[in-house]
Amino acid sequence: MSSVISVSNLSKKYGNIQAINDLSFTVNKGDVYGFLGQNGAGKSTTIRMLLTLIAPTTGEIHIFDKKLSTHRSEILNNIGAVIEKPDLYKYLNAYDNLSIFARMSGLKVSRQLLMNQLQMVGLADRAKDKVKTFSQGMKQRLGIAVALVHNPELIILDEPTNGLDPQGIADIRNLIMRLSKEMGKTVLISSHLLSEIEVIANRMIIIHKGRKIIEGNVAELLDPSHTVIDIDAVDNEGAKAALGTSRWATYLQPGKSLQLMMNKELVPQLISELVAMNIQLLSVNSSHSLEKYFLSLTTNSAHVEPFTN
């Protein structure tokens, strides 16, 4: 499979601050690639280097099999990007915004093509409405239409669901999936929400303090056999002792808490048998081991070893 983005040993330093540290990753053609990390992890810094808005301290970036530093214009002409909130003319309508950005890109496009773009992002019926009347989700969708007006092969979206309500998040999610499945675009999307990346991406990377923690296929990294079950009972010690002499003993995790790791399909059987053992349950909560690991990064400021699935 051919790569669209290949980043090798990328670093960015601001004075004594190491924003990105020896980062390497690959985005393949057709990927919806999740670029995951908490705020301040280095996602936006990396994206700005991909778009040549800032220069790396060390390392190399190849996009479309060309070195970014020597083929900048050629590469950027085939990329569409929305960095944080889209920069739109809020006192103009949606159609005029799209038309202006098309002309700024040196494109001569028909009215029908522009309306098709607005139709694709679900804004055709608001084409003549001023952008200042739009919700944030609608502005994000218009920003994506602007990024697509020159029909780029690669789309880069930096936190596109930030500040959106649930409907706005769903709209952006559906649009990204259409870009991939119906239009064959390669999409790199940064986010601090593992739950969103799990739904829309086929591959992902997690970075923390500028370093790569893990990279791989989402389906493999979020294997349901690695579901963590946290149990709170009236008598946790007694419950743990009872489970330790049952068929569930192999799933018990070390530590003081009452925790098991198993395939999520086994959870109903576990609960039934806990009840049959007369264990009084206060709560049973499940999460993926990668999710728990990812959340731990927000509270653990010490050195974090790479996650192994």
| Interval 50-95: pLDDT, tens | 999 999 999 999 999 999 999 999 999 999 999 877 889 999 999 9
Degrees, nearest 5: CA angle 106-110-113: 100
Listed by start position, the domains of the chain span 3-221, 224-294
Tell me the average pLDDT across 18-32: 96
Residues counted in the chain: 309
Residues 6+ apart with CB under 8 A from 41: 192, 207, 208, 209, 210
Distance from the Cα of residue 28 to its chain's centroid: 15
Instruction: Take residue 204 and report the two structure tokens written for it.
Output: 């992902």
Question: Cα(286)–Cα(262) distance, rounded to whole angstroms?
Answer: 10
pLDDT bucket at 291, cuts 50 / 70 / 90: confident
Question: What kind of fold does domain 3-221 have according to CATH?
Answer: Rossmann fold (3.40.50)
Residue 209's nearest CA partner among 288, 291, 306 is 306
Residue 217 has pLDDT above 50, yes or no: yes
pLDDT digits over 164-181, tens only? 888 888 888 999 999 999
Torsional class of 271: left (φ above 0), alpha (ψ -120 to 50), beta (otherwise): alpha
Question: What kind of fold does domain 224-294 have according to CATH?
Answer: Alpha-Beta Plaits (3.30.70)
Q: Note the pTM of the prediction, 2 decimals.
A: 0.81
| Angle of the 166-181 helix axis to the 136-148 helix axis, nearest 10 | 20
User: Cβ(172)–Cβ(161) under 8 Å?
Assistant: yes
Question: Cα(60)–Cα(11) distance, rounded to whole angstroms?
Answer: 9
Which segment of 2-16, 116-130, 211-225, 290-304 scores lowest on mean pLDDT?
Answer: 290-304
User: What three-state secondary structure class fits 103?
Assistant: helix
User: Cβ(92)–Cβ(41) under 8 Å?
Assistant: no
Identify the pLDDT of residue 162.
84
Residue 29's nearest CA partner among 154, 149, 148 is 154
